[in-house]
Structure 1
């Protein structure tokens, strides 16, 4: 049996699968986010450990864990967990959606070396600018910093006593030479750091350490359970849904959204704001377009009109042509393709005919056009795919998927009901680390239905997307 632990922003999930990859048990524990100032987003790493203990105890209550062979880790990316020489946490972890370091990110990104080495823009949410913010605003903490770990890797330190990361998560720090799959000494030096501040690197399907005996005894696990490298949340989710080969992609409609394509080559184009990261498997990379509000945008609109998201989407019926009302879903800024932490959302083109359903359709269309922007950005780098799988809470809306299929002019495949998220991918990586299996251990799930583009509406969606782009340009004063 194998366990996947997924350290999310709002909770930690533990998943137990058997050797045939069937889910045996699952357990979750909630987490809270602290926002002491506008643009700040923090968590206490101690809470991660408490949540992990609760989730593991929840698994043990459902099934005996004496046959577990390996544990895999997944988690939220980009967090800055700063430790002193005694491995004590120096300050709350700044999370992926913490944007206070926008000035530091711009300063780093102004040096061409960063994009050249990492293949990516230095985004405000990445780890390096956060640490530079600490150096400027909390210099005593920076001076005491002995080790910098990503969230799931702090969890690994507690589980194994080993300071280790893996390629997919490390690629989101802005310190990794993404093509070489190694830390960049030049970028670390530019940050006042050395390799000693960084964890050791392994591949996601490799062994990173062994579970501490104290924890194995506490949870009823064998003494020799290994812990796999694992993956950042999106890379682990890709392993979970079988997107591990060039030509395959998935669209995730969660709180934020991701268009993720696997690649067997390193082909960055930072100017597009596409994320080019290592995948969680050896000799594999991936590219992502990231849009910061997906179901978050729909839930915002549901609160605005006093309804719930499922009721709103259920009122729409068959896919309709976009109306005059346009929604730009930039509630908290945007990454791909704009790299703009300051821009905010806009609902325009309101008229007497705009009712609740028209507003719902406009919100879904706005996120759909953000997906199209990411699709175009990936295409401009040369990344192509012929299979697109939909996951996440938003994928339960056939209307939304039909809009995306029509806007991309590409079928969208929906897997059978099941868990294909980060915890499942982490458990698969644990199996790989234990058995030495490769991509054959990460098949694409059975597809329950395919949402085809509505050919009669492709031109209308293309026209609406043009209006969407022009509205963005006007909003930014660029038209």
Structure 2
């Protein structure tokens, strides 16, 4: 039996996998996000552990016999977060998360301090990555920065609680901007640019290797066997790729969750930082991958459902499904940049927009625009990957958004690609983590990393693809025209006192 633990932004998910690679059971516990200031996103590491304990208790109570047979644990989780520990391994402050935009000024500083950044790390400096966060800390919280003894990524902090060991692996470490991605090792030069050394970094192992062992006292308390191995694990997207069997060059998927990810496997390191493409290590030795990342995807539908007063997302989607093709092609346009954007814009100030509203705009039309805007942003990401030499003909669709056949077909039409929805669309990262645990225990990769059967296959409609092109071009033009105004709106300048008299009275 193998346990996968996926530390997400909104929940911790556990999954039990048996020796035949069948999912035996799952459990989860919710997490809350803190935004104490504009652009900030934080969580307390202690809350991650408390949620893990709750999910463990639920799964153990539900499946006591299977639970007692766990031989290895795999970890996955949200990437880029900065967990800052003192010399006694205590968190110095709340963790700064992947969707935190406070360090936008430090990105330019890192590019200046580390001219080799693009060649070595393979990525632009973006506020979501870990390295700019540490430069922000050095500038704004210098007393805390001076006490930083270790920097861990979120899932690796869970590993520390499980085992007492500080270990990471290349797929997650590549998202720090401190990794030499081609060499799959820490870069002393990039660390030095942030005032850090290799001594403050965790040891690296491959994702499918044993990284540590569960502490005996914890194993006893949790009702596990005396020796339980912990695999290296992977960042959430690389783990999801393992979960859907995306291991060979050209294999890929779209993850339609809080954020949106388009992930394609490569046989070598292929950076394209100019288009804000992420080039990272994959969760298997000798494999890399490219990702385009949008910061708001299924979360856009969640936001609009609440905004328009629909009872739930299913009700809104049912209304959208009743729209005819002509109505959809005359709907408003939506820019899905509710939390800034990465690929291809690398713009923390990008903001959302519903354009073209009229007195006749019903919520179903605006809801369709939201679905379409996310699909168009994914098309932008696909273009960026193709510009870097990545070829793909078919993608799997995972995440909460994969439940909507309407949305899946719209994405197929916008990207002009086949979209396959796996039968286990929502098990992704936790399943991948459990599979990595099996690999660390010596299981055969060909047997473990099988692609699940497709529950649905959405072939692109070439005629609808062509009908969408004018809307896609207007979608792109909107961002270009409004980019400067978005930055001004995000950081408005107060009117100087000596000009207040120039403003006419109402």
Q: How does the TM-score come out when normalised to structure 2? A: 0.92
Distance in 1 between residues matched to 2:397 and 2:425, nearest whole Å: 12
Corresponding residue of 2:494: none
Q: Deviations over 1:144-184 (max 9, x none)?
A: 11111001101101111111000110000010001110000
CA distance in 2, matches of 1:84, 1:11: 26
Matched, 1:441 2:448: yes
The Cα offsets for residues 343-373 of structure 1, whole Å up to 9 and x where unpaired, read as 1111111234422221111111111100100
* Contact kept in structure 1, 2:331 and 2:366, CA below 8 Å: no
Query: Is the alpha carbon distance of 1:440 and 1:109 closer, same or farther for their aligned partners in structure 2, counting shifts above 3 Å?
Result: farther
CA contact (8 A) 1:246 1:385 kept: no
Deviation of 1:430 (Å)? 0.1
Deviation readout 1:40-90 (Å, 9 max, x if unpaired):
111111112222222112221122222211000011111111111111111
Task: Quote the Cα distance in structure 1 between the aligned partners of 2:153 and 2:442.
Answer: 26
The corresponding residue for 1:311 is 315
Q: Tell me if structure 2 keeps the 8 A contact 1:322–1:362.
A: no
Aligned to 1:15: 15
Matched, 1:95 2:97: yes
Aligned-partner SS, 1:144: coil
* Secondary structure of the corresponding residue to residue 188 of structure 1: helix
Q: Which residue of 2 aligns with 1:458?
A: 465
SS for the counterpart of 1:6 is strand
Is the contact made by 2:395 and 2:420 (CA closer than 8 Å) also made in structure 1?
yes
SS state at 1:171 partner: helix
Residue 257 (str. 1) matches residue 257 (str. 2): no
> How many residue pairs end up in the alignment?
478
CA-CA distance at 1:417 after TM superposition: 4.3
1:415-470: CA deviation from partner (whole Å, max 9, x where unpaired)? 12464321111000000000153254111110122111122211111121111111
Quote the residue 1:235 is aligned against: 238
Q: Which residue of 1 aligns with 2:46?
A: 46
Structure whose CA Rg is larger: 2
Aligned to 2:206: 203
Whether the 8 Å CA contact 2:257–2:299 is kept in 1: the answer is yes
Corresponding residue SS for 2:334: strand
Superposed, 1:118-157 pairs within 5 Å as 118-157=121-160
Moved more, 172-181 or 390-399: 390-399
Q: CA distance change for structure 1 residues 385 and 440 in 2, over 3 Å: closer, same or farther?
A: farther
CA contact (8 A) 2:2 2:438 kept: yes
Q: In the aligned structure 2, how far is the partner of 1:226 from the partner of 1:163?
A: 14
Q: Deviations over 1:365-407 (max 9, x none)?
A: 1111001000000000001112211111111111111111111
CA contact (8 A) 1:73 1:152 kept: yes
**1:389-468 alignment runs, 5 A limit:** 389-417=396-424, 419-468=426-475
* Conservation of the 8 A alpha-carbon contact between 2:264 and 2:290: yes
Distance 2:403 2:80 in 1: 28
- Alignment partner for residue 383 of structure 2, among 376, 380, 403? 376
- Equivalent-residue separation in structure 2 for 1:406 and 1:437 (angstroms): 37
Structure 1 spans left out of the alignment, 5+ residues = none
RMSD (Å) for aligned C-alpha atoms: 1.5
